[in-house]
Structure 1
């Protein structure tokens, strides 16, 4: 399933039917040299991402499923668009203009990734398609006022576009009818060796342009404010192996069972995407550079993959078989006045642009 199979840079095809009878589609966008992304309308998820290595060999480098049923049956966030609020809100509660809003808890006592029925569980609609030199698809979703406890009717769009030979742009926009909070992200699970090859990501080299991170408690809620990465296993300011220090007896690694922390990207929220992270897989030569305009980047080392989930190529995904880099506002921001705000008011437009740029060395 790669670009050679279809001449057009854009292909729209069925991807199964949900249990309630609604049809799900897949849209494939083809770039150069076999570079291709496939997006499904269930969860606006990236279902596949084919990237060449230094010898031009293609591999699918993201976790996902070959058909729809497992996406509906299990909530794994593989490649999904996450909202209304990515990451955690302590107790599922937050104050807004004198009112306390309550999101149902779905991660212990806390709300995670938008509550029990987040945007990753929704069927998005195809709003626009372009098949020219910059092939793209725009998916849309309307979240009603009070959805999962969040105020305001939220109109959301996400556009996936191939904005360079091997560059995937993911651009979110949202508007609201009432003051609310919004934090949308792409939840890709990456393994630059290729999913079919198997193996963990501990030998990938990671660089994070962050001088500070947010320590967490046992429920993965931030404690205090940004803490310098210097002198800790969280210092990726120069390239380091993901697995280099992951087994050190550091309290934060124990609490996260590895890395599952928000890194405070240098410069905070920016007008244009700038380089936030770089990952290199030495054996294949594949490199991912992530540019974003968001103030935070959740780095997750796949700690809770436990070998029970079968993905593409009949692989069972085990601990550290993938990494996530989720550009976002900081976790629990609505309860932290000193964190960068996630508020959205009527008349404003929430925007979040991230670029996933692939190359080889």
Structure 2
């Protein structure tokens, strides 16, 4: 067994305290619509095994989408689960909470978490719970229903949904709509899950562009991925990458106007 660094309630979150999101990648190719980045992660990086070469390709497409394609190879069996953690607020005003946005998630089930935000291993139905977004509805409608244990555990929404798209990235996995602007965001992916995080821990301490502070629920993340803690849940889709194999993952954030 391999013990990973603990940086979140005894768990290894986002690849550890010096995970890949903190690394500087090399630019392999770039033009007016495409950026290809590459990184070499040495054997033992944050205790993860294998010399891993990871690549991410960002493409701006003519239909107003950001297309993200990930790939990786390794020389030792390892685990890999790459995603994008962008925060979205489609009102264009970070002072407005995203609780008025309408959210749709193409998922009949989700993976419950315990009080340390770790998946329990259960796959539970969203039916008749605040986790049901099979019909678009306002994020804020049930986000504070803390008598429902999962809302209490997540301090709102910070959960992985089990997509019913069967890896078909031409089917919408999730969508977000801001009534104030008419902007719509569709998420398409070949991943089995999507982590939806409603910015519950934003507290105004982080400043963004032009000194803007981000308060609680100022934005939402829609992270395509395999389910959290999959290496320790053998019953779930595997995140193991072996020598000779190529890891790949695909996510599209497609924007449009819907009045």
Fold shared, TM-score > 0.5 on shorter chain? yes
Query: For the Cα contact (< 8 Å) 2:55–2:71, is it kept in 1?
Result: yes
Q: Which runs of 4+ in 1 moved over 4 A?
A: none
Partner in structure 2 of residue 284 of structure 1: 181
Spell out, residue by residue over 1:141-186, the C-alpha distance to the aligned partner (whole angstroms, 9 max, x if none).
0000111111111101101101233111011000001111100000
Q: Is the 8 A contact 1:288 1:358 kept in 2?
A: yes
Residues in 2 aligned to 1:119 and 1:164: alpha-carbon distance in whole angstroms: 29
Cα deviation, 1:280-302, whole Å, max 9, x if unaligned, reads: 00110000000000011000000
Q: Which of residues 205, 227, 245 in structure 2 aligns to 1:348?
A: 245
Task: Name the SS of the counterpart of 1:159 in structure 2.
Answer: strand
Q: Which residue of 2 aligns with 1:127?
A: 28
Match of 1:288, SS state, is: strand
* Match in the other structure for 2:36: 138
Within 5 Å, which residues of 2 pair with 1:239-318? 239-248=136-145, 249-268=147-166, 270=167, 272-318=169-215
**Is the 8 Å Cα contact of residues 274 and 293 (structure 1) preserved in structure 2?**
no
2:72 pairs with 1:174: yes
- Secondary structure of 1:202's counterpart equals helix
TM-score relative to the length of structure 1: 0.70
1:97-128 deviation digits (Å, cap 9, x = unpaired): xxx11111011211000011001111111001
User: What is the CA distance between 1:273 and its match in structure 2?
Assistant: 4.7
Query: What's 1:330 paired with?
Result: 227
Q: Distance in 1 between matches of 2:202 and 2:31?
A: 36
SS at match of 2:152: helix
Partner of 1:47: none
Residues 47-93 of structure 1: per-residue CA shift (max 9 Å, x gap): xxxxxxxxxxxxxxxxxxxxxxxxxxxxxxxxxxxxxxxxxxxxxxx
Aligned partner of 1:192 in structure 2 is 90
Q: What's 2:49 paired with? A: 151
2:13: which partner in 1?
112
Q: Distance in 2 between matches of 1:152 and 1:274?
A: 34
**2:3 & 2:231 partners in 1: Cα distance?**
12
- Cα distance per residue 1:19-50 (max 9 Å; x no partner): xxxxxxxxxxxxxxxxxxxxxxxxxxxxxxxx
CA RMSD of aligned residues (A): 1.1
Structure with greater proportional strand content:
1
Q: Is the 8 A contact 2:158 2:196 kept in 1?
A: yes
Q: TM-score, normalised by structure 2?
A: 0.96
Displacement of 1:311: 1.4
The one of the two structures with greater contact order (alpha-carbon pairs below 8 A, sep at least 6) is 2
Q: Secondary structure at the match of 1:168?
A: strand
- Secondary structure of the 2:174 match is strand
Q: Assess if the C-alpha contact under 8 Å between 2:188 and 2:252 holds in 1.
A: yes
- Runs of 5+ consecutive residues of structure 2 not aligned to the other structure: none
User: 1: distance between equivalents of 2:71 and 2:207?
Assistant: 33
Max radius of gyration: which structure?
1
